[in-house]
Structure 1
């Protein structure tokens, strides 16, 4: 499934994810390759942070990359945000950051984890990787 997402779903969803919440794009750097990557995800932004449900498990490349780099750029609704302090947490820790309308659905989904990212600063407009 990861391969299908990488070669088919991500290229299609990427442009939509930049402007259609709750989709967003994680801009991250490969741990060993040093290459720039852009991965569409579901992400909810609160006043202080982003929370990303880990729908494909905890061992996904984008999460491993941002954990090693201690942050990433997030793009949502045409805005680019700098984040730091990424950590993988369980539902109980993520719940306060999730919109109330989706909390019960995510509780029932029993996902393997969530990535919390502290919001550092905002830049308007889209920037290249």
Structure 2
């Protein structure tokens, strides 16, 4: 985890509610729709997602968060990309710090030097 715990709590409480409505207008921001592993309740998370070919990669600077665990457990999710396009992803997997993966973009390769990355394949 690259973000200190106090900053993470501040981000969750104050920054995320402000960013969620405007994220769709900002390049690299995306909304991941996922479902709770136990509850089955639908949730959305705002992330920075980068596309390379038929793959999406998302840096995990907060570590393996609930949304990423939900996506891996479900075997996929829907991601609404910048510009409004929604894609379905499958085969989500963690790329541990420093391991690298051909699906990583330049931005997520930089993140991967210090943190893990979630990579998934785009379907259709």
Q: Secondary structure at the match of 2:71?
A: helix
Q: CA deviation at 1:50?
A: 0.4
TM-score normalised by length of structure 2: 0.80
Q: Which runs of 5+ in 1 are unaligned?
A: 122-129
CA distance in 2 between counterparts of 1:53 and 1:42 reads: 7
Higher deviation after alignment, 15-24 or 45-54: 15-24
Q: Which residue of 2 aligns with 1:32?
A: 38
Q: Is the contact made by 1:72 and 1:82 (CA closer than 8 Å) also made in structure 2?
A: yes
Match of 2:118 in 1: 115
Structure 2 CA distance for partners of 1:105 and 1:22, relative to 1, 3 Å:
same
Change in Cα spacing, 1:74 to 1:107, as seen in structure 2 (3 Å) is closer
Deviations 1:49-74 (A, max 9, x none): 1000001012x100111011100001
Q: Partners in 2 of 1:49 and 1:104 — Cα distance?
A: 14
1:41/1:52 contact within 8 Å kept: yes
Q: How many residues end up aligned between the 2 structures?
A: 116
The alpha carbon displacement at 1:6 in A equals 3.7
* Partner in structure 2 of residue 93 of structure 1: 100
Aligned to 1:69: 74
